[in-house]
Each structure stands twice: as structure tokens, then as C-alpha cells.
Amino acid sequence: MKDRRGVAGSRAAPLQLSLWWGGWRLALLLLVAVTTFGTTGYIVVEGWPLWDAFYMTIITVTTVGYREVRPLTRYGEGFTVVLLVVGVATVLYTFSFLMARLVEGDLRDRWIRRQRKRMLDDITRHFIICGFGRIGRIIAGEFLRQNVPCVIIERDAERMKEAIDMGFLAVEADASNEHVLRRVGIQRARGFIAAVSTDAENVYAVLSARLLRPDLFIIGRAETDDAKSKLVRAGADRVISPYQIGGLQLAQTALRPAVVDFVQLATSSDNLDLNMEQVRIHEGAPLAGQTIVEANLRQRFGVVVVGIQRADGRMEFNPPPESAMRTGDFLVVLGRADSLRELETAAGQAPSLSQ
């Protein structure tokens, strides 16, 4: 479903353009009317030639202070007074309208560009999302709900503007361009997500990101089975197929609805009482080298260890109390948000739930 703020943003530009063009037409129409009125008046009242009447009208409404082109009669002087009042007002309106549009538009655009550049220079520990289609919107929306900073790269100008209107930091560019990736702070990024609708663009984006940051965590979106292997070879740490995940979710919901409800409850950002989180054991942390029972995790932190992902990628589900927690391991735990923050501190990790 399309976000209403995005729709409003996409309609605002044509409305502003219409108002701007309407003001210009009115200003030009008034200038033409005043010039025609003055030229015709001098021809009728004074009997001057066309050029003399036109020239007298221009120097009158612009108040340049030149002498009269020809001597004026009383009627001509009276007509000049009227032309001065009407013409000067028209010229001032046109000039003020022109300067307001130039100054406001130029200054506003410059301020927006400078603010966006400053935000891109300052952002850190963020995710870079390539593409703001249906999948990209969902990802960005979830990051927004969990207060995770992110930058969106989108080639389509309308989608990019919708992202900005929704409150995201977005750049209209090609995600496979190395200059663009440096511009959005890939050297300071926490992760990279290639979620463009075509496999070819995702492969190029992943390859470019991996060349710039060999240590970056990269996720790629794949539409076909053939694209999965290509994304892995390009450097993606994880490859996700939305269609496959959607199909599995439908099947699991049909077979095990209670299990699916529990997982959704545990992983939902809207649930404040229970969270499922991964906690990395860092070198030198108090928990490093201890077993689950020695660390007394359940009593100290009130968390349940669901699994341990070893540093080599192996996953141990429902590990026994004697399982050791080594440096580089990830604990998959279930608990309250405040308890998880305490556990992250003991593991030597900056709390992720507060980011």
C-alpha cells in the first residue's frame, strides 16, 4: 500500500510548479498591459509616433529620470501621473516576484543540498539500502521503527523524492558507482543491502561494495536461483529470495501457526516485553571463555539462550549448559530489552537496541 506521505510529496511538486507559472504569467501580463496602455495613451493624448510613445512609456514606468521625449500638454502630464502610479506598482510587483523566486528557490535548494551533504558526512554505523521499491520500503520502514540509521540509493527520481518525504536520507544515483558508495559513507557503514528489482543491478552493486569494503556485511536480493550463486561469488554474505521466503512463511503458517506467531512476536520491533537478539562475544569480554552455566546468564540477565552461532558459521540450537562461549561467537537469546542491553555490555558489544 502506498504511503500517503509519499503520494502527497509526489503531488506537491506539480502544484508548486503550477503556482509558480501562474505568478509568472500574471506578472508578464501586467507588464505587457501597462506598456500597451502607456504607448497607446501617448499616441492618443499627445499624438506622438509609435516609437516615441513606447520609449516614453518605458522611461516612465522604470523611473530612470530622463527628460520627456517631447513637451507635454496638461493632458499629457495628467496621463503621465496615472502611468507612473500604475506602471511603477506593476514593475515593483514583477521585480519583487522575480527576486523572491530566485532567492527563495536558490537558497532553499542550496540549504537542502548542504544539509543532506552534512548528514551524509556525519552518519555512521548505518545501513546502505539500494532500491526503494516494495522490498526497499519494507526494509527502510523496519529500520525506521527500530531507530537504525540508513541511507537509500535510488535511481528513480520520483521514488527518491518519496523516500525523502517519508523522512529517509536518500540519494538519486546508481548504486554500483564507487563514487556514490563513498559519498553515502560506505567506509563507515554497518551493512549493505542490495534490494533492486533486477538481479544484474544487485550483482553489480554487491561487487562494487565488496571491492570497497572487504569486511562489510552484505545482503543481496535474488529473483532467480541462478542469481543466488552469482551474488555469492560477487561477495554477498547472505542472499535472500523474497519469493522463497514468502512461500515458506505461507507454508509454515498453514502447518505451525502458533510457532510462526511466537517467532513474529519475539522478533517484532513493536513488542517491548520480549525481544530476540544476537549478541557477539568480543575478545576480552567478561563472558568470553565461560560456559553458559558458569556465566549464569538466566539468573544474571534473565535471558534464554536459543542457540549459538560459532565463529566458523556452525549453529548450535538449544545448547547445553556446559557449552562454552568463545570469542567471535553469536548468542541467539530471548529476553527483555533492558536485560539484552546488559548482556551486550557484558559481551563487550555496544548495545544495538538503543541505536
97-100, Cβ contacts within 8 angstroms, sequence gap of 24 or more: 97/23, 97/24, 97/27, 98/27
State mean pLDDT over 182-187: 95
Q: Is the pTM of this model over 0.95?
A: no
**What single string gives the DSSP state of each residue in 68-102?**
PSS---HHHHHHHHHHHHHHHHHHHHHHHHHHHHH
Q: Cα–Cα distance between 63 and 86 in angstroms, integer?
A: 12
Adjacency order of strands within the sheet including 275-280 = 275-280, 330-335, 304-309, 315-317
Contact by Cβ (8 Å): 345, 351? yes
- pLDDT, one tens digit per residue, over 62-99 is 877 677 788 888 888 888 888 888 888 888 887 777 77
Listed in order, the ranges of the chain carrying CATH 1.10.287.70 are 4-120
**pLDDT at position 79:** 87
**pLDDT at position 341:** 87
22-28, Cβ contacts within 8 angstroms, sequence gap of 24 or more: 23/97, 23/101, 24/97, 27/93, 27/94, 27/97, 27/98, 28/94
Give every CB contact of residue 302 below 8 A, 6+ residues apart in sequence: 335, 336, 339
CATH 1.10.287.70 fits 4-120, yes or no: yes
- pLDDT, one tens digit per residue, over 205-252 is 999 999 999 999 999 999 988 899 999 999 999 999 998 888 998 999
**pLDDT at position 308:** 94
**pLDDT at position 227:** 92
Rg (CA), the chain: 33
Give every CB contact of residue 329 below 8 A, 6+ residues apart in sequence: 280, 281, 308, 309, 310, 311
Please name the fold of domain 124-246.
Rossmann fold (3.40.50)
Phi/psi-derived region of residue 323, left when phi > 0, alpha when psi is between -120 and 50, beta in every other case: beta
**pLDDT at position 4:** 35
**pLDDT at position 111:** 72
93-100, Cβ contacts within 8 angstroms, sequence gap of 24 or more: 93/27, 93/30, 94/27, 94/28, 94/30, 94/31, 97/23, 97/24, 97/27, 98/27
Instruction: Work out the mean pLDDT of the chain and round it to a whole number.
Output: 85
Look at the block and give the residue holding cell 539500502: 129
Contact by Cβ (8 Å): 96, 103? no
Residue 210's H or E segment, with its range, is helix 199-212
- pLDDT, one tens digit per residue, over 110-127 is 777 788 888 899 999 999
Look at the block and give the residue holding cell 529620470: 65
Nearest to 61 by CA among 77, 83, 82: 83
Look at the block and give the residue holding cell 552469482: 230
pLDDT > 70: percent of the chain: 87
Please name the fold of domain 272-346.
Alpha-Beta Plaits (3.30.70)
Report the 10 Å Cβ neighbour count for 198.
12
Nearest to 80 by CA among 98, 97, 63: 63
Contact by Cβ (8 Å): 203, 227? yes
Adjacency order of strands within the sheet including 169-172 = 169-172, 150-154, 127-130, 191-194, 217-221, 238-240
Listed in order, the ranges of the chain carrying CATH 3.30.70.1450 are 272-346
**pLDDT at position 237:** 95
Listed in order, the ranges of the chain carrying CATH 3.40.50.720 are 124-246
- pLDDT, one tens digit per residue, over 12-58 is 444 444 444 556 677 788 888 888 998 898 899 888 999 988 988 88
